[in-house]
Amino acid sequence: YSGHKEAAMEQARAVLRSTFGFNDFRPAQEEIIRHLVNGGEALVLMPTGGGKSLCYQIPALVREGTGVVVSPLIALMQDQVDALRQVGVRAAYLNSTLDASTARATEQALLAGELDLLYVAPERLMTERMLELLARSRLALFAIDEAHCVSQWGHNFRPEYLKLSALHERFPEVPRVALTATADAPTRKEIAERLGLVQARRFISGFDRPNIRYRVTQKHSGTRNELLCFIRDHHDGEAGIVYCLSRKKVDSTADWLRERGLTALPYHAGLTKDERQDHQTRFLREDGVVMVATIAFGMGIDKPDVRFVAHLDLPKSLEAYYQETGRAGRDGLPADAWMAYGLQDVIMLRQMLESGEASEDFKRIERARLEAMLAYCELTTCRRQRLLAYFGEALPEPCGNCDICLEPPETWDATLAAQKALSCVHRTGQRFGVNHVLAVLLGKDSERIRSLGHDRLSTYGIGTELDATGWRAVFRQLVAVGMLTVDAEGFGALKLTDACRPVLRGERRIWLRKDARPARRTRRRERT
């Protein structure tokens, strides 16, 4: 039996060399293909460019019958099929762009067993006519590409993907493989459930981008200057992307950078189509263009030498962060992912989330995603390890190429400060934002504080050992570790969670990062 398995693998290797002209499988490909050529089912998670296509193309060629590939990207089908035909693979596609006679000829070829691979749009695949045709054909496997399209909570939901679950009932003997580049844990679970692949083996790999150096810095009034220094010192004349949350901020940041001599162009949905096209073309063709953009920019942009991606606002999930930073360094040369974030980002994202129309279930998942993002920002351990762990991939050793590995943050015993901060939130009734609470801690004298009677609280003026910046860092980290939450409906009011009890009762000590002045620290450390 194992000899038979090895024979299939030998054949797979021969196809890799003779048809595709590659010498070796990538490590993950080998395992996946071994599993699939022998009839296993799988859920494959691999980032874009990881080499997913071979994972189903080769088993389709090795196994008897036609491999049916479901893909929503109709525009790409023809290119894929052309490329396969050029290397001698008998490939074809069926979608709405074909004229009737070509479609008929393709169907005949399928029935006659003359196709190795058939690409089909999902809405076409699930028609009764197509299913009957498949039932009369010999099938090697089903490959469901872009499998996250089945997720209603993802960003690319396609209702016709839901119907794909019927494939298994209709063709129980044909193995299936679902593939995607974007799937965090909840999405993955949803894919497996909706496609009936809970039992299928999961392969997660290739998410590490070792050439990208991750850095997170705290937002402050000079953050824009810090970004400018970062670009001038490290990426002078190089291409990069600066992401901002709002169109307004995109415009003002692009203007500001341009005034300081950079070639910075804005990109967001509020520009005309021509402007967007023009800016995109310049970004791709000219050297050293910095694209200042909302998340509207980037999908399908294939520029290998983007040297940095900067975030001036917090992305809403680690998934988004990974996708966006992943646009840097596609050529494998060193690149930077630089991000500045502050508590205000969290408040803003929470407000956007809570005021949205989405269902409560959806909001719960989005909240958890935001929390994971926030925890990443406040890490005191290797960022790459956390990022990969989020995608289910393990990195045994700290990476040595993130800010934490390169300059381990100093921590301090913040137990007493945390107790003061938490008590002050409690005493003021969990109805106030960070600025008010820290004003009370600092014993600030203001009309508002007096009229609320907060100058008579036991926590009034007990926090003079830190300044406002110091307290802000404490509050931010307490939110990140989940001891405080930010109430989006109450204009950013801080609220206690159950997790803070052991600290308030003195049963747990808490260590927080020391926040030095980010602007100065960054510049000094870069020279060494």
In the bound complex, what is the minimum distance in angstroms from residue 123's beta carbon to Zn ion? 44
Instruction: State which residue, 73 or 504, has the beta carbon closest to ligand ADP.
Output: 73
Sole binder of ligand ADP in the list 9, 19, 26, 521 (CB under 6 A):
26
In the β-sheet with 263-267, what is the strand arrangement from edge to edge?
212-218, 335-341, 308-311, 240-243, 289-293, 263-267
Q: What, of Zn ion, ligand ADP, none, does residue 46 touch, CB below 5 to 8 Å by kind?
A: ligand ADP
- Rounded Cα distance between 32 and 29, Å, is 5
**Tokens for 392?**
């289910």
Task: Tell me if 344 sits within 8 A of 479, measured CB to CB.
Answer: no
Q: What, of Zn ion, ligand ADP, none, does residue 399 touch, CB below 5 to 8 Å by kind?
A: Zn ion
Tell me how far CA of residue 505 lies from CA of 356, 412, 416, 496, 500, in angstroms: 37, 19, 11, 14, 9
Asked if 363 is part of the footprint of ligand ADP (rule: CB under 6 A), the reply reads: no
Q: What, of ligand ADP, Zn ion, none, does residue 52 touch, CB below 5 to 8 Å by kind?
A: ligand ADP
Sequence-ordered strand ranges (E) for 244-324 = 263-267, 289-293, 308-311
In the bound complex, what is the minimum distance in angstroms from residue 461's beta carbon to ligand ADP? 58
First-last CA distance in the chain: 59
Instruction: State which residue, 399 or 422, has the beta carbon closest to Zn ion.
Output: 399
Instruction: State which residue, 26 or 426, has the beta carbon closest to ligand ADP.
Output: 26
In the bound complex, what is the minimum distance in angstroms from residue 315's beta carbon to ligand ADP? 21
Look at the block and give the residue holding tokens 């969290």. 346
Sole binder of ligand ADP in the list 9, 11, 19, 22 (CB under 6 A):
22
Sole binder of ligand ADP in the list 12, 13, 28, 29 (CB under 6 A):
29
Q: Is 301 exposed, middle or buried (0-12, 13-18, 19+ CB in 10 A)?
A: middle
Q: What, of Zn ion, ligand ADP, none, does residue 121 touch, CB below 5 to 8 Å by kind?
A: none
Sole binder of ligand ADP in the list 15, 46, 195, 292 (CB under 6 A):
46
- Rounded Cα distance between 434 and 476, Å, is 9
In the bound complex, what is the minimum distance in angstroms from residue 298's beta carbon to ligand ADP? 15
In the bound complex, what is the minimum distance in angstroms from residue 334's beta carbon to ligand ADP? 21
Instruction: State which residue, 53 or 280, has the beta carbon closest to ligand ADP.
Output: 53
Q: What, of Zn ion, ligand ADP, none, does residue 44 touch, CB below 5 to 8 Å by kind?
A: none
Asked if 401 is part of the footprint of ligand ADP (rule: CB under 6 A), the reply reads: no
CB count within 10 Å of CB 72 equals 19
Asked if 390 is part of the footprint of ligand ADP (rule: CB under 6 A), the reply reads: no
Q: What, of Zn ion, ligand ADP, none, does residue 402 touch, CB below 5 to 8 Å by kind?
A: Zn ion
In the bound complex, what is the minimum distance in angstroms from residue 304's beta carbon to ligand ADP? 12
Question: Where do contacts with Zn ion occur on this chain (CB under 5 A)?
Answer: 382, 384, 398-399, 402, 405
Instruction: State which residue, 166 or 333, has the beta carbon closest to ligand ADP.
Output: 333
- Rounded Cα distance between 127 and 122, Å, is 9
Task: Tell me if 218 sits within 8 A of 473, measured CB to CB.
Answer: yes
Residues 124-183 that bind ligand ADP (CB under 6 A): none
Phi–psi pair at 77, nearest 5 degrees? -55, -45
Sole binder of ligand ADP in the list 39, 51, 288, 334 (CB under 6 A):
51
- Rounded Cα distance between 14 and 33, Å, is 13
Residues 210-249 that bind ligand ADP (CB under 6 A): none
Q: Phi-psi region for residue 240, left (φ > 0), alpha (ψ -120 to 50) or beta?
A: beta
Task: Report which of 367, 379, 382, 250 is spatially closest to residue 317, judged by C-alpha positions.
Answer: 367
Instruction: State which residue, 143 or 402, has the beta carbon closest to Zn ion.
Output: 402
Q: How, if at all, do strands 484-487 and 493-496 pair?
A: antiparallel
Residues 6+ apart with CB under 8 A from 92: 81, 106, 109, 110, 115, 117, 118, 119
Sole binder of ligand ADP in the list 13, 43, 50, 484 (CB under 6 A):
50
Q: What, of ligand ADP, Zn ion, none, does residue 405 touch, CB below 5 to 8 Å by kind?
A: Zn ion
Q: How, if at all, do strands 212-218 and 263-267 pair?
A: unpaired
Segment contacting ligand ADP (CB under 6 A): 47-55, 277-285, 428-436, 467-475?
47-55
Q: Phi-psi region for residue 351, left (φ > 0), alpha (ψ -120 to 50) or beta?
A: alpha
Phi–psi pair at 511, nearest 5 degrees? -110, 130
Sole binder of ligand ADP in the list 19, 48, 263, 469 (CB under 6 A):
48
Instruction: State which residue, 49 or 237, has the beta carbon closest to ligand ADP.
Output: 49
Give exposure, 129-168, as e/b (b: 16+ Cβ within 10 Å).
ebeeebeebebbbbbbbbbbbbbebbeeebebbbebeebb
Q: What, of ligand ADP, Zn ion, none, does residue 25 touch, CB below 5 to 8 Å by kind?
A: ligand ADP
Q: How, if at all, do strands 139-144 and 176-180 pair?
A: parallel
Asked if 53 is part of the footprint of ligand ADP (rule: CB under 6 A), the reply reads: yes
| Binding-site ranges for ligand ADP (CB under 6 A) | 22, 24-26, 29, 46, 48-54
